[in-house]
Amino acid sequence: MTGLTSRDLPRTRDTVQFYSGDLAQFANGHLRPTFRTIWLVGGGVVSGACLRFGLADEFRSSILPILIGDGIRFFEKLDRDVALHLAEVRAYKSGTVELCYEVRGHRGEPQNAT
């Protein structure tokens, strides 16, 4: 497992490594040659960067049955609209709903990894 981080973190397991730096370079130079499927989990900063750099072909979001009055942005620093297509919806007994969207590109542009 590789963790993306903006700060130094102690490595406590041999199976975990940390990376800090250019996300597109890391994904294209390190992850894509090794893995067929890359699953990135993160907040608005990571999600926004993946969409900005054309690294995401799918986006999943879960809606929880809790309303909060404040929070962090869903996506940070998106510089344009990103077209999505709803591919799947799953509802759970807990009230949670999972939405799966395919990324169609930026305002009709084809999705490509840079």
* Contact status, residue 89 vs residue 98, Cβ threshold 8 Å: yes
Residues in the chain: 114
Topology of domain 2-105, CATH: Dihydrofolate Reductase, subunit A (3.40.430)
Give 4: exposed, middle or buried? Use CB within 10 Å, 0-12, 13-18, 19+: middle
Q: Which residue did the predictor score with more confidence, 31 or 95? A: 95
Which tokens in the block code for residue 28?
């294209």
Instruction: Record the pTM.
Output: 0.66
Instruction: Write out pLDDT tens, residues 2-43.
Output: 777 767 777 788 887 788 888 888 888 888 888 887 777 777
Domain boundaries, the chain: 2-105
